[in-house]
Amino acid sequence: MLEVKSISKDWREFRLRDISFEVKKNEYFIILGPSGAGKTLLLELIAGIFVPDSGRIFMDGKDITFLPPEKRDLAYIPQNYALFPHMKVYDNIAYGLRLRKIPKNEIDKRIREIAETLEISHLLHRKPETLSGGEAQRVAIARALILEPRVILLDEPFANLDPQTRAKLIQEMKRWRKELNFTALHVTHSFEEAVSLGDRVGVMLNGTLIQTGDVREVFSKPKNEEVAKFLGFENIIEGIAEGRILRTNGISIELPIEVKGKVRIGIRPEDIVISSEPIKSSARNEFKARVLAVEDLGSLARLTLDVGVIQLRAFITRSSLIEMGIEEGKEVYLSFKATAIHVF
């Protein structure tokens, strides 16, 4: 749907180099990268605020590289939300519809609807300066989504919020997606947002998009050491949760909390315990695994373990490695506590 082809741009201290990716219809695409990677500049190129030095941007096959922002049918939500300070919340949300000369009662109806979904009905008469960060973010999202744009561009949407509000908004964003069915391109430095919301993710470092793919795939198979370092080697497992049990490809994992539906969970490699014999303990998730690879990291070793159909990474001390005689192809038992699991 939205296709970016070999975009390059130098602007101030930012340089984007040969960036290509595609966002498919109804997909939630996340660009993950540290601050200063040029993520905002990339969004501004797609929004039409700047023009790339080279490369092309396509929307449904049509070249939009040089179209002005108002002709692109995209909505851009910058990091500071950019609510119009001189307008009430209602007028902020109505802004785009009024430009499109939609009849007044139709505008009113649509605003009431979206305000209800985003739970901002009680804020409609307020001025933006009186809103909290979370409220302002909801209003900014409403103002963008009410136009039913082909893609919404979100720049670090949750970065300026306190942790609780942030966690809540991330969960709600999942619900809004189901209800409003939009396509999103979201840039962030937050690993958690990427795993929680992303269908696919692109990792951007120093102005280059290094790896793009399914979230689980990118996290489990970082293309190079740089990406692996940035992602922090977390094990990401995807499955269907039913109460406290997550089922994925024939194995069941006990979860620390009750959830329902498709979820991703994360386990840190250092929380995985390796043993040669099964440990009898009810508080643990335990699986038989085969060692696929052993990487020497000095005093630690990193194991890649094959558990039926999923692969996990674990750290083990060098001495345990020698003691247990672990080598490629050996069968071991791995276990981790339910409390060590992070449910995204």
Partner 1 sequence: MKRDYVTAFFALIGTFMILYILLPLVVIISKQLLDWEMLSKALQDELVLTALRNSLITSTATMLLSLFFGVPLGYILARKNFKGKSFVQAVVDVPIVIPHSVVGIMLLVTFSNRILDSYLGIIMAMLFVSAPFTINAARDGFLAVDEKLEHVARTLGATKLKAFFTVSIPIAMPSILSGAIMTWARAISEVGAILIIAYYPKTAQILVMEYFNNYGLRASRPISVILVLLSLSIFVILRWFVGRSKQ
Footprint of partner 1 on this chain (CB under 8 A)?
A: 44, 47-49, 68-70, 72, 74-78, 80, 82, 84-86, 95-96, 99-100, 143-144, 147, 153
Q: Which is nearer to partner 1, 180 or 292 (by Cβ)?
A: 180
Nearest-approach distance from CB 91 to partner 1, in angstroms: 10
Nearest-approach distance from CB 134 to partner 1, in angstroms: 19
The residue assigned the tokens 């085969």 is 290
The residue assigned the tokens 């005689």 is 325
Q: Which is nearer to partner 1, 126 or 302 (by Cβ)?
A: 126
Q: Report residue 8: phi and psi, to 5°.
A: -130, 145
Nearest-approach distance from CB 312 to partner 1, in angstroms: 42
Q: Which is nearer to partner 1, 41 or 246 (by Cβ)?
A: 41
Q: Report residue 196: phi and psi, to 5°.
A: -70, -40
The residues, any chain, with a CB within 8 Å of residue 306's CB and separated by 6 or more, are 289, 290, 291, 292
Q: Which is nearer to partner 1, 9 or 264 (by Cβ)?
A: 9
Nearest-approach distance from CB 4 to partner 1, in angstroms: 17
CA distance 268 to 209: 25
Four-CA torsion 270, 273, 274, 276, nearest 10 degrees:
170
Nearest-approach distance from CB 86 to partner 1, in angstroms: 5
Least Cα distance to 174 among 190, 162, 186, 188 occurs for 186
CA distance 157 to 109: 26
Nearest-approach distance from CB 67 to partner 1, in angstroms: 11
Q: Which is nearer to partner 1, 44 or 135 (by Cβ)?
A: 44
Instruction: Say how many CA atoms lie within 13 Å of 215 toward its Cβ.
Output: 26
Q: Report residue 341: phi and psi, to 5°.
A: -90, 135
Q: Which is nearer to partner 1, 99 or 322 (by Cβ)?
A: 99
Nearest-approach distance from CB 300 to partner 1, in angstroms: 45
Q: Which is nearer to partner 1, 159 or 227 (by Cβ)?
A: 159
CA distance 246 to 262: 9
Nearest-approach distance from CB 143 to partner 1, in angstroms: 7
CB 337 within 8 A of CB 253: no
For 99, the token pair is: 């430009």
CA distance 181 to 25: 10
For 45, the token pair is: 């190129």
Q: Which is nearer to partner 1, 144 or 326 (by Cβ)?
A: 144
